[in-house]
Amino acid sequence: MAPTRSARWRRTEAARRGGARGGGGSRNVTRMSGFKNAAVDLWKRAEVVCFDVDSTVCSSEGIDDLGDYLGKGEAVAEFTAKAMTGTMPFEEALAARLDIIRPSSGEIDKFLESDAPKLTPGIAGLVAALQGKGKAVYLVSGGFRVMIDPVADELRIPRENVFANTLFFDQGTGSYTGFDDTEFTSRAGGKARAARHIKEITKATTLAMVGDGATDLEARQPGGADIFVGFGGIVKREAVLDQADWAVCDFEELTRALE
């Protein structure tokens, strides 16, 4: 599938042709149905499926939850929204949020003890179905590895299949000192780089990316994800869903499509 001919292009083209002459409505439906069929075919053929975590695999934004726990949730959520809608470079939003909360290792440990992963309904069944068909499942997130590893454990996804950000702490005090800016997902376009890397190490010819945000959409760059499934089950980001190859609001639809 050519990444440049996205769902947005197809929808615009169908609308243009349909609006230019009478009886276009049924032709538009046919065009859209045909495009969805192509997306479903790619979904079925994908040897690797990568999932975003926050507001996709999990029903909340992990860094926002941590911010709430530390009494700084509103300020953190503002930057999260900017990052997810693409109105602020991800690396700037990540640094800004971490500068606000500056979590110590002890605070994160206590947060994780008090806040179990909030899995989105249907994700456990979908992951099991994908793995049952021999597909490799990865978690590719701009969140923090220390918070995402427990999610991977619950879904029986190997921790080596997690691509996320690593936080640094002072060995003596446990205070926050920074994050690893060499991680794929520490900056804009990182999910595309992660997708290319995963395809290289798995030798996969078809990779699917599922997510809710602009950083997930970016994975569908040349050499990256071959299909982007926009997930609107938690937050509907219209600018992202409009450009997705396939937009869904529940994971059951993706599970049924595997049958």
Active-site residue, from 41, 54, 64, 242: 54
**How large is the greatest C-alpha to C-alpha distance in the chain, in angstroms?**
73
Question: For residue 118, what are its two tokens?
Answer: 């909030």
d(CA 165, CA 146): 9
Is 181 one of the catalytic residues? Answer: no
From the list 52, 64, 216, 245, the catalytic residue is: 52
Residues 55, 109: Cα–Cα separation, whole Å:
22
The answer to whether 41 is a known catalytic residue is no
- Which residues are paired to 51 by β-bridges? 139, 210
55 Ramachandran zone, left/alpha/beta (phi>0; psi -120 to 50): left
Q: How many residues make up the chain in this entry? A: 259
Cβ 243 vs Cβ 6: under 8 Å: yes
Q: Which residues belong to the active site?
A: 52, 54
